[in-house]
Amino acid sequence: MSMATASPSSSLAWTVPDTMVITWRTILRFIRLPQLLVLSTIQPVMLLLLFTYVFGGAISTQAVPMKYIQFLLPGFLVQIVVFGSTQTSVGLAEDLSRGIIDRFRSLPMSRAAVLAGRTLADALRYTFLAVLMVGVGYAIGFRFENGFGFAVGAIMLSVLFGFAFSWISAFIGMSVKDVETAQVAGFIWVFPLVFASSMFVPVESMPGWLQAFAKINPVTVTTDAMRGLCLGGPIWMHLWKSLTWIGGILVVFLTLAVNRYRRIA
Amino acid sequence: MDQDPDSTTIPTQQGRPAIFAEGLKKAFGKVKALDGVDVSVQPGTIMAMLGPNGAGKTTFVRILATLMRPDAGRAEVAGHDVLKEPQVVRSLIGLTGQYAAVDENLTGRENLEMVGRLYHIGGSLARTRAKELLDRFELSDAADRRVRTYSGGMRRRLDLAASLVARPPVLFLDEPTSGLDPRSRQALWDIITSLVKEGTTVLLTTQYLEEADRLADYIAVIDHGHVIEEGTSQYLKECCGGDVLVQLRLSDRTQTAIAGEVLSTFGDDKLQIDERAGQVSLPVVDGTAILPEVVRRLDSRGITRYDVSLRQPTLDDVFLALTGRPVEEVQAEGTAGEVHQQGRGRKR
Nearest to B346 among A99, A108, A109 (CB): A99
State residue B4's pLDDT score.
41
Q: Which residues of A touch B99 (CB under 8 A)?
A: 98-99
State residue B343's pLDDT score.
34
Taking CB atoms within 8 Å and a gap of at least 24, the contacts of A177-182 are A177/A93, A177/A96, A177/A97, A177/A264, A177/B344, A177/B345, A178/A93, A178/A96, A178/A97, A178/B344, A178/B345, A179/A90, A179/A93, A179/A94, A179/A97, A181/A93, A182/A89, A182/A90, A182/A92, A182/A93
The count of CB pairs under 8 A between chains A and B is 112
Distance of CA B141 to the CA centre of its chain: 30
- According to DSSP, residue A54 is labeled I
CB atoms A102 and B95 under 8 Å: yes
State residue A7's pLDDT score.
46
State residue B6's pLDDT score.
41
Nearest to B120 among A14, A96, A263 (CB): A14
Q: Are A97 and A180 in contact (CB under 8 A)?
A: no
Q: Which residues of B touch A2 (CB under 8 A)?
A: 1, 3, 7, 9, 91, 120-121, 166
Question: Given a cut of 80, is residue A3 above it in pLDDT?
Answer: no
Question: Given a cut of 80, is residue A6 above it in pLDDT?
Answer: no
Q: For residues B6 and B226, give the distance between their C-alpha atoms in angstroms, rounded to a whole number.
A: 40
Q: Which residues of B touch A177 (CB under 8 A)?
A: 344-345
Q: For residues A47 and A37, give the distance between their C-alpha atoms in angstroms, rounded to a whole number.
A: 16
Region of B2 please: left (phi>0), alpha (psi -120 to 50) or beta: beta
CB atoms B120 and A109 under 8 Å: yes
Cα nearest neighbour of B111 on chain A: A25
Q: Are B280 and B271 in contact (CB under 8 A)?
A: yes
Largest Cα separation within chain B, whole Å, is 82
Taking CB atoms within 8 Å and a gap of at least 24, the contacts of B175-179 are B175/B57, B175/B58, B175/B97, B175/B98, B175/B205, B175/B206, B175/B207, B176/B96, B176/B204, B176/B206, B177/B206, B177/B208, B177/B211, B178/B98, B178/B206, B178/B207, B178/B208, B179/B152
Query: Cα dihedral sign for B40, B44, B45, B48?
Result: positive
A81-106, pLDDT tens digit by residue? 999 999 999 999 999 998 999 999 99
CB atoms B90 and A108 under 8 Å: yes
ipTM score assigned to the predicted complex: 0.89
Q: For residues B11 and A4, give the distance between their C-alpha atoms in angstroms, rounded to a whole number.
A: 9
CB atoms A105 and B67 under 8 Å: yes
Question: Given a cut of 80, is residue A265 above it in pLDDT?
Answer: no
Nearest to B65 among A11, A21, A106 (CB): A106
CA-CA distances (angstroms) from residue A119 to A70, A253, B19?
Answer: 29, 12, 36
Low-confidence ranges of chain B (pLDDT < 50): 1-10, 334-348
Q: Radius of gyration over alpha carbons of chain B, in Å? A: 23
Q: Are B213 and B205 in contact (CB under 8 A)?
A: no
State residue B327's pLDDT score.
61
Stretch 2-61 of chain A: residues touching chain B, C-beta under 8 Å: 2-3, 5-8, 11, 14, 17-18, 21, 25, 28-29, 32-33
A191 vs B4, residue with greater confidence: A191
CB atoms A265 and B68 under 8 Å: yes
A217-240, pLDDT tens digit by residue? 999 999 999 999 999 989 999 999
A262 touches chain B (CB under 8 A): no
Cα nearest neighbour of A11 on chain B: B87
Q: Which residues of B touch A14 (CB under 8 A)?
A: 120
Question: Where in chain B are the domains?
Answer: 19-237, 243-312
- Residue of B61, B77, B87, B178 to mutate when probing chain A, most A C-beta within 10 A: B87
Q: Which residues of A touch B88 (CB under 8 A)?
A: 3, 6-8, 108
State residue B75's pLDDT score.
97
User: Regarding beta strands B93-96 and B170-174, do their DSSP bridges make them parallel or antiparallel, or are they unpaired?
Assistant: parallel
State residue B177's pLDDT score.
85
Question: Given a cut of 50, is residue A51 above it in pLDDT?
Answer: yes
- Residue of B69, B91, B102, B121 to mutate when probing chain A, most A C-beta within 10 A: B91
CB atoms A265 and B120 under 8 Å: no
The class that CATH gives domain B19-237 is alpha beta
Q: Which residues of B touch A102 (CB under 8 A)?
A: 62, 67, 95, 97, 101
Cα nearest neighbour of A23 on chain B: B114
Closest CA to B256 of B240, B239, B272, B235: B272
State residue B5's pLDDT score.
41
A104 touches chain B (CB under 8 A): yes
* Domain B243-312 fold: Alpha-Beta Plaits (3.30.70)
A116-134, pLDDT tens digit by residue? 999 999 999 999 999 999 9
Lowest mean pLDDT: which of A14-18, A157-161, B308-312?
B308-312
